[in-house]
Amino acid sequence: MRIVVTGAGGFVGRQIICRLLDRGDSVAAVDTVGSGIPFGASPIVGDLADPAIRAAALAGGCDAIIHLATVPGGAAEADPAASRRINVDAMYDLLLEAGAANPGLRVIYASSIAVFGDPLPDSVDDSTPLSPRMIYGGHKAMMEDAVAMFSNRGAIDGVTVRLPGILARPKGPSGMKSAFMSNLFHALKAGEAFTCPVSADGMIWAESVSRCADNFVHALSMDTALLPSTRAVTLPALRIRMGDLAKEVARQCAVSPDLVTYLPDADLEIAFAAQPPLATPAAERAGFAHDGDLATLVANALATLS
Amino acid sequence: MRIVVTGAGGFVGRQIICRLLDRGDSVAAVDTVGSGIPFGASPIVGDLADPAIRAAALAGGCDAIIHLATVPGGAAEADPAASRRINVDAMYDLLLEAGAANPGLRVIYASSIAVFGDPLPDSVDDSTPLSPRMIYGGHKAMMEDAVAMFSNRGAIDGVTVRLPGILARPKGPSGMKSAFMSNLFHALKAGEAFTCPVSADGMIWAESVSRCADNFVHALSMDTALLPSTRAVTLPALRIRMGDLAKEVARQCAVSPDLVTYLPDADLEIAFAAQPPLATPAAERAGFAHDGDLATLVANALATLS
């Protein structure tokens, strides 16, 4: 298969591409910068809002698209016009053009739990309505509808997966407000102190990047008749107390858990550490899975830390 | 209040504007043609995709917007790019600009039952997921998310109302595939024969235009805390057997019901005359209502026939 991966140089994209190359797929890897794209993929470096970049991605045939490229949450909030241009308009154009070139191709769309809004309702399950507040979540929700529409028309065969917190992102600025969860791993692995901006009792939803990549690869070949009529599922995630996560990371890194202190920021606490009970039976029926338990999640996350 | 009504020359817009003028509101009436705009409103003639037209609509202050302007279903299917330009992009720009000019203004958005897709599921209620198939329904669904997002941010105070079949539209081409329901009224009132393109046993959801206008006026002053978190409600509608509707229209027009014959078109039957049981408790809690019974609906529709 020739598979187009957008956002190919991101930490999720790289993991997915390595799996695809390992199994013999041809990968067209689109990103605004080429440096993160794994060796072996065909790099297409540029902006998805540029018609020439989309044409290059689709040239030579496209059996499936894994669409990860995004203006992330914090960046979208700072520049809503950029989010609209990339997260809505460019993606819509990509779906139109891909569906015209190869009607019915599989498209896997990385949406976000931000579609549910913040603060989240008292519990989240497959019937939770979408009520986004952040620009990022609003634009992701709009494009969930577009994926459903294009799928119902036969232009694409879409799968929308809503990502929880993915652990662990690389160091450095990501534009993601949730980056603190990953920075915990980096600090403790380096034996450094970490000031956690949410409380020890804060509850987060998390999935390791390797488990997340497995879920995307699964979405390439799954039977989409198993999906809800919206084509969208919230990926299974472990619901973890932040203090328990810190202790387990410290244990596996063989450092003292006392390296972690807590200085909660009210906005971050509400947005990312007040996550209610989560039920994802639709995703589980469709074959998606979380890491299983906290120790496995932390081990998976540490194994890919970069 | 100074209220902007888009799609002001349409048959729903005209009814709403007459009510607003009667109660003393100032109305800025936007439409692409001026001929249908009621006397007493301030006409703004042009395309909502034109920034100058949007600026003219908002100039002089805007306490609320009733957004009816749309590329309708059949026309959207024939020209998806026009639907995207008007039903998505121009509306998004209007929300942005209105929310910047007067944060928190009431916006009432005319969405459609097309967001549920066709064929419809076996029943529709407030938990039915959005799974549009038509371009029109897809774009309406995308903008429902935008209304929720802008409302959650405080930019607007949005109310999305999904319209069922509205009876009766004026004669002539409307771009609406559901126009046959209205043409029944025009034919029988004129004592003419009518070939119905759906079966006598076909089930439709309907509301009279005057009842629909009452619902929009209600939406201007209702407490939006009564709405679901999505800000969207499906308007209450009567579910009517097409043959019963024809008989009641004939009775009130004092013509023979035998003027109506049935020659079902498979596509129209699926899209408009296979409407399942409908429950709209969220809308009813928020004070929206249908016509009450079939005789009242038909009387209301005949009273405004033009």
A124, pLDDT greater than 80: yes
Q: Which of residues 18-77 of A touch B (CB under 8 A)?
A: none
Q: Which residue has 């003292």 as its token pair?
A: A256
A120 in reach of chain B (CB within 8 A): no
A131 in reach of chain B (CB within 8 A): yes
DSSP B34: S
Q: B151 has which bridge partners? A: none
Amino acid B306: pLDDT: 76
Q: pLDDT by residue (tens digit) across A220-247?
A: 999 999 999 999 999 999 999 999 999 9
Residue from A130, A136, A140, A144 whose CB has the most chain B CBs within 10 Å, to mutate: A130
Q: What does the pLDDT average to over B19-40?
A: 97
Contact between residue B64 and residue B218 where contact means Cβ atoms under 8 Å apart: no
Distance CA A30, CA A13 (A): 10
Residue A92 tokens read as: 């819509």
SS3 A160: strand
Do B138 and A131 lie within an 8 Å CB cutoff?
Answer: no
For domain A168-204+238-278+292-303, give its CATH number from 3.40.390, 1.10.260, 2.60.120, 3.90.25.
3.90.25
Q: Which residue has 């036969």 as its token pair?
A: A154
Q: Give one word for B220, left, alpha or beta, with left for phi > 0 and alpha for psi -120 to 50.
A: alpha
Q: A6 has which bridge partners? A: A30, A67
Closest CA to A236 of A206, A203, A198, A196: A206
SS3 A68: coil
Do A228 and B129 lie within an 8 Å CB cutoff?
Answer: yes
B171, pLDDT greater than 90: no
Size of interface A-B (CB pairs under 8 A): 81
Closest residue to B148, CB basis, from A131, A135, A153: A131
Task: Give the number of other CB atoms < 10 A from CB of residue A61.
Answer: 13
Q: Which residue has 């203004």 as its token pair?
A: B105
Amino acid A175: pLDDT: 64
Superfamily covering domain A2-165+207-234: NAD(P)-binding Rossmann-like Domain (3.40.50.720)
Contact between residue A224 and residue A157 where contact means Cβ atoms under 8 Å apart: yes
Do A149 and B129 lie within an 8 Å CB cutoff?
Answer: no
Q: What does the pLDDT average to over B124-129?
A: 96
Task: Give the number of other CB atoms < 10 A from CB of residue A88.
Answer: 22
Distance CA A155, CA A239 (A): 36
Which residues of chain B neighbour A121 with C-beta distances below 8 Å? 229
Distance CA A169, CA A175 (A): 11
Q: Please state the domain extents for chain B.
A: 2-164+207-234, 166-205+237-277+292-303
Closest residue to A145, CB basis, from B121, B138, B150: B138
Sheet strand arrangement including B232-234: B42-45, B26-31, B2-6, B64-67, B105-112, B156-163, B232-234
**pTM assigned to the model:** 0.95
Pick the residue from chain A with its C-alpha nearest to B144. Answer: A142
Q: pLDDT by residue (tens digit) across B89-103?
A: 999 999 999 999 999
Least confident of A25-39, A112-126, B187-201, B209-223: A112-126
Contact between residue B198 and residue B261 where contact means Cβ atoms under 8 Å apart: no
Question: How many Å lie between the alpha carbon of B230 and the closest alpha carbon of chain A?
Answer: 5
B153 in reach of chain A (CB within 8 A): yes
Task: Give the number of other CB atoms < 10 A from CB of residue A58.
Answer: 21
Residue B296, classified by CB atoms within 10 Å of its CB into exposed (0-12), middle (13-18) or buried (19+), is: middle
Superfamily covering domain B2-164+207-234: NAD(P)-binding Rossmann-like Domain (3.40.50.720)
Q: Cα B245 to chain center, whole Å?
A: 20
Mean of the per-residue pLDDT values for chain A?
95
Amino acid B175: pLDDT: 64
| Residue B174 pLDDT class (50, 70, 90 cuts) | low
Longest dimension (CA), chain A: 57
Q: What does the pLDDT average to over A167-187?
A: 85
Closest CA to B234 of B71, B86, B138, B110: B110
Alpha-carbon separation of residue B45 from B1, B10, B48, B110 (angstroms): 21, 13, 9, 20
| Residue B166 pLDDT class (50, 70, 90 cuts) | very high
Residue from B122, B147, B149 whose CB has the most chain A CBs within 10 Å, to mutate: B149
Q: What is the 3-state secondary structure (H, E, C) of A114-142?
A: HHHCCCCCCCECCCCCCCCCCHHHHHHHH
Q: What percent of chain B has pLDDT over 70?
A: 99
Do A145 and B146 lie within an 8 Å CB cutoff?
Answer: no
Amino acid A271: pLDDT: 82
Q: What does the pLDDT average to over B272-283?
A: 95
Looking at per-residue confidence, does B119 or B294 come out higher?
A: B294
**Cis bond before residue A119 (omega within 30° of 0):** yes
The DSSP-derived string for A137-157 is HHHHHHHHHHHHHHHHTTSEE
List strand residue ranges (DSSP E) for A121-269, in order. 156-163, 165-167, 194-196, 203-208, 232-234, 238-241, 260-262
Q: Cα A53 to chain center, whole Å?
A: 22
Q: What does the pLDDT average to over A100-111?
A: 98
Q: What does the pLDDT average to over A68-80?
A: 95
Mean of the per-residue pLDDT values for chain B?
95
Q: Which residues of A95-131 are buried (b: 16+ CB within 10 A; e: fewer)?
A: bbbbbeebeebbbbbbbbbbbbbbebeeebebebbbb
A120, pLDDT greater than 80: yes
Distance CA A138, CA A73 (A): 10
Q: Which CATH architecture has domain B166-205+237-277+292-303?
A: Alpha-Beta Complex (3.90)
Residue A200 tokens read as: 């020890």
Q: What does the pLDDT average to over A104-121?
A: 94
Do A131 and B231 lie within an 8 Å CB cutoff?
Answer: yes
Amino acid B177: pLDDT: 74
Question: How many Å lie between the alpha carbon of A229 and the closest alpha carbon of chain B?
Answer: 6
Distance CA B176, CA B76 (A): 9
Distance CA A31, CA B160 (A): 37
Which residues of chain A neighbour B132 with C-beta distances below 8 Å? 145, 148-149, 152
How big is chain B by its Cα radius of gyration, in Å?
Answer: 19
Contact between residue B106 and residue B151 where contact means Cβ atoms under 8 Å apart: no
Do B153 and A133 lie within an 8 Å CB cutoff?
Answer: yes
Which residues of chain B neighbour A276 with C-beta distances below 8 Å? none
Residue B77 tokens read as: 């299917």
Amino acid B198: pLDDT: 96
A285 in reach of chain B (CB within 8 A): no
Note the ipTM here.
0.94
Phi, psi of B138 (to 5 degrees): -65, -45
Q: What percent of chain B has pLDDT over 90?
A: 91
Amino acid A174: pLDDT: 66
Q: What percent of chain A has pLDDT over 70?
A: 99
